Structure 1
Amino acid sequence: MEFLSVTRSLRIAMIAPPWFDLPPKGYGGIEYMCSSLVDALVDRGHHVTLVSSGRNGTKAQQHVRTYESPQWRRLGEPLPDLVHAASVRRILESMDIDVVHDHSLTGPLLAAQRTTPTVVTLHEPVAGDYKEYFSSLGDSVRLVAISSSQRATAPEMNWCATVHNGTNPDNFRFQQKKENWVLFLGQCVPHKGMHIAIDAAREAGVGIRIAAKCSEPAEIEYFDSEIRPRLSKGDDAEWLNEVGGEQKKSLLSAARCLIFPISWDEPFGMVMIEAMASGTPVVALNRGSVSEIVDDGLTGIVCESPADLPTAILRSAQLDPEDCRRAAVGGFTSDLMAERYETVYESAIASTS
């Protein structure tokens, strides 16, 4: 899709998942993206109604809750998302809007029941039941990919655009002088590679600080089997649990590098652009969207195998934090993301008028 300038004000219903506040206090990549997009759209003159659970910390002119509290304790259960979708259907019936932008899982099922166009951003790898589900929705929704690598796994689907996620660089603290430790920031699950990160930092002789969500049974099981034994081997690996706010900003800005040793095809990876906005290079394994986001040798080092990570950690000190910040500001801002979604919205509206 060719991204064009949009001058008129649109009425947009932004549907977030029911699991975390916007913006989230800690973990929540989808919620961070939604928050950044809402704020940028409002700044660009649009009227946004946010439908979510819990508190609203965005600039949305209108906020409608489906749950008083976010439902993160029930992640993995089907009913919260179903109740959320049913509430959204009722809420939208009384609203005068131009376009619905849905980030939830169940909500897109109801798109065929309304005449207002629905744009759906896919935030997961497009495979298995997830792929089958969104393929079955046909032309009732317009699908947006968050990376070319994600879209390439299912080119036959009803894609209308590829729009990289963005963030507001002003929300992060740039720091030129780095400290001598690496940062792992994410979720305590095997495919995020926390165990690989600890082993690589130890082999490089560099300390590591680990900040991760670890509350669900599978996360705790992985922590107990793979992470706790590694932490017991020395104080060079520090467990911080889940972080947010100023603590997260301080960690991102001070780290020698962010280590991102994923073993799955990550569709995007918000933490990479957050690190770059902080002037911190990314050392990552070459899976999913990594090579679209990290400029190898400039804003980070892209590795082909875990064995390459220790050397990459040491080399990361040679990269210029100014280059990292410049890349984030030039290519991954929330304003640029919003500008591209404006074109998606206008195209969806035009196709139904």
Structure 2
Amino acid sequence: MVLVICIVSLVLCVIASLVLGSRPVRFHELIDGLFHQDVDSYGANVVRKRISRTVFSLFCGAALGVSGALMQAVTRNPIADPSILGVNTGASLFVVCGIAFLNISTANQYIWLALAGAAITALFVFGIGSMGRGGATPIKLVLAGAATSAALSSLVTAIIIPRSYVMDQFRFWQVGSVGSATWSAIGTFIPFLLVGLLVGFITAPALNALALGDDVATGLGVRTGTLRLIAALAGVLLCGATTAMAGPIGFIGLLSTHVIRLILGPDLRFIIPMSALSGAIILTISDVGGRLIGSPGELEVGVVTAFIGAPILIIVAMRSKVRSL
């Protein structure tokens, strides 16, 4: 039933993304844009332009949803998310360094730098959070992520302020948007998405064992260190690739995973694929909402998800604190 509801919601979100915006599209224009390539009306062209944007938002939402689920499973932290752990900011720093010092400008160049930045930042945050008594506890990981994100954001600002050409290229990307989607960018993104999703689906049963504790998981034959490394790399791959293509969009992993966990329980065999669906739905509907709120312009989707996600994060953190007491 949940799967059917998600699929229906996804279809409705796709239709809304194609029809709604600063220029609403009528039904016959939607049909012309989708099925009648010989029709060259303004409405049909608007629909064709929005198709790539809609596909891109679906893919990015799915990637961020699965990335959040994997990071929460690996760290055993209910509020882990690429944006909260500073991974997005690390990817942003490497991209802005590439723009400023290496003169990069293409999606292929962005994606490798973003992946390197995301991976290094994830390792750094986990290393800092693991220090001291108790190891990598959820609160220590969040604090390490917040501190790292603040420091890296300062470095990003220090690099772009004296370089106006970098600021012009970087400022729109930094907010997080799917509006500049092209089929070329989607083609570049798909291999990373498929590898990350495949690894997430394959590791789900072992991650269920990991949730019982390292000792129990080892007794069940799980190599906990190898599993954490592989699952974390998949999460970083999905997050880094998305950040390179669309900018640092936050809170999708947190929102989608928590919604699914509340409905279906803790089994990652269901959470990971359903987080992909719910992440695609949340990001796509947030993009539509940004277009409607900012009409005749648009509000970037990263701003919309931040407005939605920040209160949810506070609520989740408060509930987690109450349970721990």
Report the TM-score range of the alignment, normalised by the length of the smaller protein.
under 0.3
- TM-score (normalizing by structure 2): 0.25
- TM-score (normalizing by structure 1): 0.24
* Higher strand proportion (structure 1 or 2): 1
* Higher helix proportion (structure 1 or 2): 2
Q: Which has the higher contact order (CA 8 A, sep 6+)?
A: 2
